[in-house]
Structure 1
Amino acid sequence: MSDSGVSMLLGHASAQMLWLWFIGAFVLGGALVYGVMKAGHLRRSERARLDRATEERQRQEDPYKRPT
C-alpha cells in the first residue's frame, strides 16, 4: 500500500489530475508574468515611434485638431 493521503481520499487518477492542474496553473502564471513584464517596457526609440504614429492617426481621424 503505497498510496499517499491525497491518493487515498481522491483516488489515484484524481490525484494525478490534481497535480496536472497545479502544473498547468504554474505554467500559465509564468506565461502571464512574462507577457506583462515584456509588454510594459519599450525602448526610447520604440516609444517615440509609437507616439508619432498615435499623433498621425489622431490627425487623420480629426484633421481640425490642433497640433501639440
Structure 2
Amino acid sequence: MSDSGISMLLGHASAQMLWLWFIGAFVLGGALVYGVMKAGNLRRSERAQLDRNTEARQRQEDPYKRPT
C-alpha cells in the first residue's frame, strides 16, 4: 500500500484529521450562514412590534426623553 499526497506528508491518521477539520469547518460555516440569513429577515409585524418594544424600553429607562 503506497501513500500519496497529504497522507505521505502527514501520515494516515493526520490526513484523516485534516479531512475532519475541513468537514467541520464546512458544517460550521453553513450553520453560520443559515443563522445570519434567518436573523436578518423580520416580517413587517415583527419589525413594528420590535420598534414599539424598543421605544417603550427607552421611555422606561429615560422618562425625560422626548417622544418621537
TM-score of the superposition, structure 1-length normalised?
0.95
CA offsets per residue over residues 42-61 of structure 1, 9 Å max, x none? Answer: 00000000000000000001
Equivalents in 2 of 1:32, 1:45: separation in Å? 25
Which whole-Å deviations, capped at 9, do the CAs of 1:21-58 have from their partners, x for residues lacking one?
A: 00000000000000100001100000000000000000
- Report the alpha carbon displacement of residue 5 of structure 1 after superposing the two structures with TM: 1.6
List 4+ stretches of structure 1 deviating above 2 A.
Answer: none
Aligned to 2:50: 50
TM-score normalized with structure 2 length? 0.95
Give the deviation of 1:12 after TM superposition. 0.2
Percent same amino acid at aligned positions?
A: 93
How many positions carry a matched residue from both structures?
68
Segments of structure 1 that go 5 or more residues without pairing to the other structure are none
Residue 4 of structure 1 and its aligned partner are, at CA, apart by: 2.6
RMSD: 0.8
Tell me, in whole angstroms, the C-alpha distance in 2 between the residues paired with 1:6 and 1:43.
49
Q: State the secondary structure of the residue aligned to 1:4.
A: coil
